[in-house]
Amino acid sequence: MNKINLHYQDLPNDVVLNGDIAIDTEAMGLQIPRDRLCLVQLCDEDRNVHLVQFRRDDNGNVNYNAKNLIALLQDSKRQKIFHYGRFDIAIMMHYFKIEKIPNIFCTKIASKLARTYTDHHGLRTIVMELCGVELKKEQQSSNWGAEELTHEQKKYAANDVIYLHEMREKLTQMLYENGRLPLAREYFSFLHTICKADLLGFLGSEIYNH
């Protein structure tokens, strides 16, 4: 993994990310809009990691007018790779006030369709099987709203995105081999609709659940 780059409120104008982008988020909890978005993690095809932290100002407000990050999310030419994208997409749609994040690949949906020999589709399990790496999850429940992130938090956040490109490639091959790649793409294209339903309080399709 290359250097972990930390930014505040948005990606700087001079930051260039190459190719498709792996994305994850960290929040104060899992209920939208009760729990605020604290961090967006990005990794490009060259394994460059960029963390965008959203901190409160002196008045306790958070500015989510992240024009460079939003433009990247809405770039239809780049595929955005998530693991359990349902939450990440929904919380970014809410806080960034965007209608859709186009061109999605969700490794959790892909795993459920490709790895039917198991009921274990968490990130840690898939990374271990497909990438041969054991992820440490001690920081999963830490305070992501802290003013300053610890080294351990930043490393944990980076680990959630640096393996997603490799996971996508291996899961895509598995989907292709068992003839389920077109079905997976249909699920990916419908994911933003499920996220909209979630934000309105409706329940979505069972395959998108934990």
At 10-51, the pLDDT tens digits run 999 999 999 999 999 999 999 999 999 999 999 999 999 999
Q: What is the pTM for the complete model shown?
A: 0.91
Question: Is the per-residue pLDDT at 204 higher than 60?
Answer: no
Q: Does the pLDDT value for residue 140 go beyond 80?
A: no
- Per-residue model confidence (pLDDT) at position 135: 83
pLDDT band at 1 (very low <50, low <70, confident <90, very high): low
Q: For residues 85-107, give the mean pLDDT.
A: 96
Domains and CATH numbers, the chain: 4-202 (3.30.420.10)
**Residue 141 pLDDT more than 80?**
no
Whether residue 68 has pLDDT greater than 90: yes
CA distance 8 to 90: 21
Instruction: Give the pLDDT score at 89.
Output: 97
Quick one: three-class SS letters along the chain?
CCCEEEEECCCCCCCCCCCCEEEEEEECCCCCCCCCEEEEEEECCCCCEEEEECCCCCCCCCCCCCHHHHHHHCCCCCCEEECCHHHHHHHHHHHHCCCCCCCEEEHHHHHHHHCCCCCCCCHHHHHHHHHCCCCCCCCCCCCCCCCCCCHHHHHHHHHCCCCHHHHHHHHHHHHHHCCCHHHHHHHHHHHHHHHHHHHCCCCCCHHHCC
With 80 as the cut, is the pLDDT of residue 184 above it? Answer: yes
Q: Is 73 exposed, middle or buried (0-12, 13-18, 19+ CB in 10 A)?
A: buried
Give the model's pLDDT for residue 9. Answer: 97
Q: What is the mean pLDDT of the chain?
A: 92
User: What whole-number distance in Å separates Cα of residue 41 and Cα of residue 159?
Assistant: 9
The residues, any chain, with a CB within 8 Å of residue 53's CB and separated by 6 or more, are 6, 7, 8, 9, 38, 39, 149
Return the percentage of the chain with pLDDT > 70, whole number. 93
Residue 192 to residue 86: CA distance in whole angstroms: 8
Angle at 180 (CA atoms; ends 190, 204), nearest 5 degrees: 30
User: What are 8's strand-pairing partners?
Assistant: 53
